[in-house]
């Protein structure tokens, strides 16, 4: 049987607010996305994932939904969605929506009715709990964005649970009517012809019904900057990540697979080991990604090797693979020194396109963009507002796409952009890179096209061969093809011993920088070799 379209596909993530603005209001929109479809097609992408497009008060910029069955007016409304969807079908691009079903905005009519308590039909559609005797919150759960994950509401004289902002109350998936309403959201958009969904915090649909405290992570296991954030000092096993969450994901998958040829994958931002429970060939979601690579700043071979050795013990899991998105520092900034580094960008892209999984490519990654510059008066993200300057939040990775170097705002908008366009990004604009055969953009196009002709890199299994301080080597294989992939992830020359693997036909794939000699491969800094084994 042929593999489903999504297995090994390249999915291009569009953060619409920052992609292309068609009407000069400074906010990207769906007509802007439509105007750039030729660009996305030229990349070689198979599908487009749109970050949330629903009406929202934008406290968390679309991840706080106030209406699930509509498209926000600043995005162009439903008419713009229909136009974009129709054109994508015509040109053969799949459309994936970002659905945020673990919580809603506090402006959602469901929450307004839940505030009525027993007077309304939706009393239990959100997670409410009594205060402790001293008036404090019911347990020690902490918000991902800082502070308690509970807020008191005098309308009900109870606390409500919010894993994120106070304005994002947690939907109660233990309430059958609330669960049914959430699943109906998926059916609504599937009937409109979308090809699938990315589910936000798919590990967090269920909470512990006994509201037990999360246990602490022992201090000796808190070693990196990641643990500086207070919520990361807890093991998140009661506010989310419950094993029974899989039953909910089974229901989600059944809804999606009730429509022909559709795809659903999830974000699993905590407890990465649970991907084996939450994703499977016959259970849970069809695919998903953890933050193993997204949180990593080392670019160490051992990180990639350990992750795929873990997955190979769970062969039922087909992962998504991604190095960057709207929530984390961009690849070049995280793995490099914060400055433009086209060599690093090309190597990271080669690795991304070589690893096993469905590729999630974040807008601007194909240009080699790093994080945009953000000053204190430009902060829009609530995380940056809380922690600036220790952390600038997520605004740096959300700054607008540069399209035309010589145009105002690099061609993103004719108005004032909602986030600043980094002046350094203008020099990396798409129109400049289009004209440069050696650009990161043209490298991305060439590499994606070459990957299509190497089936083992698209749907093959993966076997880790070496993970030293410098070298990451692995084999991708199908019954018909075996491909050797060797990467020097360091900035010093390195050698990979071939052993008995001497009959190898190199592909024109990746940045090059290798040579045969002395029974091995010599690799220059930030280089890669991809070749077919006889």
Strand partners, 99: 199
Model confidence at 227, in pLDDT bands (50, 70, 90)? low
- The model's pLDDT over 15-66, given as tens digits with 9 standing for 90+, comes to 999 999 999 999 999 999 999 999 999 999 999 999 999 999 999 999 999 9
Pair of tokens at residue 282: 């016959």
Whether residue 223 is predicted with pLDDT greater than 70 in this model: the reply is: no
Q: Report d(CA 303, CA 299) in Å as an integer.
A: 7
Whether residue 501 is predicted with pLDDT greater than 90 in this model: the reply is: no
The two beta strands, 471-478 and 481-488, are antiparallel
Mean pLDDT rounded to a whole number for the chain? 96
- The model's pLDDT over 229-242, given as tens digits with 9 standing for 90+, comes to 889 899 999 999 99
pTM of the full structure: 0.98
Whether residue 103 is predicted with pLDDT greater than 60 in this model: the reply is: yes
Residue 338: its pLDDT value, please?
Answer: 83
CATH class of 10-104+175-451: alpha beta
Model confidence at 355, in pLDDT bands (50, 70, 90)? very high
Strand partners, 495: 522
- The model's pLDDT over 457-486, given as tens digits with 9 standing for 90+, comes to 999 999 999 999 999 999 999 999 999 999
Residue 367: its pLDDT value, please?
Answer: 98
460-533 maps to which CATH number?
2.60.40.1180
23 neighbors 373 (Cβ within 8 angstroms) = no
Q: Report d(CA 514, CA 496) in Å as an integer.
A: 10
Residues annotated as catalytic are: 200, 270
Residue 488: its pLDDT value, please?
Answer: 98
Residue 312: its pLDDT value, please?
Answer: 98
Whether residue 225 is predicted with pLDDT greater than 60 in this model: the reply is: no
Whether residue 222 is predicted with pLDDT greater than 90 in this model: the reply is: no
Residue 509: its pLDDT value, please?
Answer: 96
Segment 370-385 shows an average pLDDT of 97
Q: Report d(CA 490, CA 526) in Å as an integer.
A: 6
Domain boundaries along the sequence of the chain:
10-104+175-451, 109-161, 460-533
Segment 489-515 shows an average pLDDT of 93
Exposed / middle / buried, residue 473 (Cβ in 10 Å: 0-12, 13-18, 19+): buried
Model confidence at 224, in pLDDT bands (50, 70, 90)? low
Model confidence at 97, in pLDDT bands (50, 70, 90)? very high
- The model's pLDDT over 299-335, given as tens digits with 9 standing for 90+, comes to 999 999 999 999 999 999 999 999 999 999 999 999 9
Query: What CATH superfamily is the domain 109-161?
Result: Oligo-1,6-glucosidase; Domain 2 (3.90.400.10)
Whether residue 432 is predicted with pLDDT greater than 60 in this model: the reply is: yes
Nearest partner of 312 among 474, 472, 462, 458, judged by Cα:
462
Q: Report d(CA 502, CA 452) in Å as an integer.
A: 25
Residue 27: its pLDDT value, please?
Answer: 98
Q: Using H for helix, E for strand and C for coil, what is the string for 206-247?
A: CCCCCCCCCCECCHHHCCCHHHHCHHHHECCCCCCCCCCHHH
Q: Phi and psi at residue 365, in whole multiples of 5°?
A: -65, -35
Whether residue 228 is predicted with pLDDT greater than 70 in this model: the reply is: no
């Amino acid at each position: 049987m042929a593999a489903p379209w999504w297995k090994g596909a390249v999915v291009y993530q569009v953060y619409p607010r920052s992609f292309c603005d068609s009407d000069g209001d400074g906010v990207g929109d769906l007509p802007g996305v439509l105007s750039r479809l030729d660009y996305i097609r030229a990349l070689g992408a198979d599908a487009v994932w749109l970050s949330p497009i629903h009406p929202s008060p934008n406290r968390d910029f679309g991840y706080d939904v106030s209406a699930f069955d509509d498209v926000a007016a600043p995005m162009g409304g439903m008419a713009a969605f229909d136009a974009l969807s129709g054109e994508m079908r015509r040109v053969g691009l799949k459309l994936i929506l970002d659905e945020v079903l673990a919580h809603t905005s506090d402006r959602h009519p469901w929450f307004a009715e839940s505030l009525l308590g027993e007077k309304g039909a939706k009393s239990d559609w959100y997670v409410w709990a009594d205060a402790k005797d001293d008036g404090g919150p019911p347990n020690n759960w902490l918000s991902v964005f800082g502070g308690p994950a509970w807020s008191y509401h005098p309308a009900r004289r109870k606390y409500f649970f919010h894993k994120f902002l106070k304005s994002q109350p947690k939907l109660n998936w233990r309430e059958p009517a609330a669960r049914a309403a959430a699943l109906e959201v998926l059916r609504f958009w599937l009937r409109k012809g979308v090809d699938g969904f990315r589910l936000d915090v798919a590990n967090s649909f269920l909470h512990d019904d006994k509201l037990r405290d999360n246990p602490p992570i022992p201090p000796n296991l808190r070693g990196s900057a990641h643990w500086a954030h207070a919520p990361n000092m807890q093991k998140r096993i009661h506010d989310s990540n419950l094993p029974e969450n899989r039953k909910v994901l089974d229901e989600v998958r059944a809804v999606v697979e009730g429509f022909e040829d559709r795809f659903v994958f999830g974000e699993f931002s905590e407890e990465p080991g649970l991907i084996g429970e939450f994703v499977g060939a016959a259970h849970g979601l069809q695919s998903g990604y953890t933050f193993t690579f997204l949180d990593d700043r080392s670019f160490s071979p051992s990180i990639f090797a350990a992750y795929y050795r873990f997955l190979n013990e769970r062969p039922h899991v087909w992962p998504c693979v991604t190095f960057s998105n709207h929530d984390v520092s961009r690849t070049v900034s995280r793995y490099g020194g914060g400055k433009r580094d086209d060599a690093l960008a090309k190597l990271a892209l080669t690795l991304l396109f070589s690893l096993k999984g469905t590729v999630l490519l974040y807008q601007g990654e194909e240009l080699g963009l790093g994080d945009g510059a953000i000053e204190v008066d430009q902060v829009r993200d609530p995380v940056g507002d809380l922690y600036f300057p220790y952390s600038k939040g997520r605004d740096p990775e959300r700054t607008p796409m540069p399209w035309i170097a010589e145009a105002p705002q690099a061609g993103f908008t004719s108005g004032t952009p909602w986030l600043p366009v980094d002046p350094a990004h203008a020099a990396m604009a798409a129109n400049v890179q289009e004209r440069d055969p050696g650009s990161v953009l043209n490298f991305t196009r060439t590499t994606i096209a070459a990957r299509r002709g190497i089936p083992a890199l698209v749907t093959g299994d993966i076997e880790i061969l070496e993970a030293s301080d410098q070298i990451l080597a692995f084999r991708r294989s199908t019954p018909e093809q075996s491909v050797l992939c060797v990467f020097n992830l360091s900035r010093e020359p390195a050698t990979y011993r071939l052993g008995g693997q001497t009959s190898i036909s190199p592909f024109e794939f990746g940045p090059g920088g290798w040579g045969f000699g002395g029974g091995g491969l010599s690799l220059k800094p930030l280089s890669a070799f991809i070749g077919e084994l006889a």
